[in-house]
Amino acid sequence: MIETGLANKVAVITGAAAGIGRATARRFAAEGCRVASWDVAEGEAENGGLFQKVDVTSTASVAGAVEEVMRRWGAIHVLVNNAGILRDGQLIRIKDGALAGMMSDEQFNSVIDVNLKGVFTCTRAVAPHMIAAGGGVVLNASSVVGLYGNFGQTNYVATKAGVIGMTRVWAANWASSISG
């Protein structure tokens, strides 16, 4: 095993009940991290870590989860904003020259809420603890579609482009906060 410097660090992984989030939580735990796995679905704690049922779109849910992690371990060193959903559909669909369908408000808003607002909500709750401790790492999962687009994914592309933009702004803002 390569020394990663993660031993005894505290990592919060969103969307950790399955897929990339679950694999990320397992890997961080294997590297010696204390892992708080967050998801709206049922899941499992990794290697003595903590599984929390958290809705990343809810300020209260996220704040309660952060409070529990801080009470249990006293710090958060890494936040992996991985939670995300898809609700694909064309903005408008034309068939035989007539409007045949369109993306619903629910399709658009649910993806914006989880994929973009969730990153905002979780980072806003965790970052002050990192800054007070002198630093930390926020890893935001995005996608190349945020740069190049993808057919039928107006909502998803908007969130991934937004995550890229927020990440750039936060990196610039916090670099000065941490370095003085």
The pLDDT of 31-59, averaged and rounded, is 96
Question: Residue 180: which pLDDT band, with cuts at 50, 70 and 90?
Answer: very low
Choose, from 156, 157, 159, 161, the residue flagged as catalytic: 156
Distance separating alpha carbons of residues 114 and 178, to the nearest angstrom: 28
Number of domains in the chain: 1
Distance separating alpha carbons of residues 79 and 75, to the nearest angstrom: 11
Do residues 146 and 163 make contact, with C-beta atoms less than 8 angstroms apart?
yes
Whether residue 156 lies in the annotated active site:
yes
Q: Is residue 123 part of a domain?
A: yes
Asked whether the predicted pLDDT for residue 179 surpasses 80, the reply is: no
Q: Is residue 4 part of a domain?
A: no
Range of 31's domain?
10-172
Q: Is residue 178 part of a domain?
A: no
Q: Is residue 3 part of a domain?
A: no
Q: Is residue 14 part of a domain?
A: yes
Q: Is residue 86 part of a domain?
A: yes
Average pLDDT, the chain: 94
The predicted-structure confidence for 156-171, as pLDDT tens digits, reads as follows 999 999 999 999 999 9
Q: Is residue 160 part of a domain?
A: yes
* Torsion, CA 163, CA 168, CA 171, CA 173, rounded to 10: -110
Q: What is the CATH number of the domain that holds 55?
A: 3.40.50.720
The predicted-structure confidence for 114-149, as pLDDT tens digits, reads as follows 999 999 999 999 999 999 998 999 999 999 988 998
Do residues 164 and 142 make contact, with C-beta atoms less than 8 angstroms apart?
yes
Q: Is residue 74 part of a domain?
A: yes
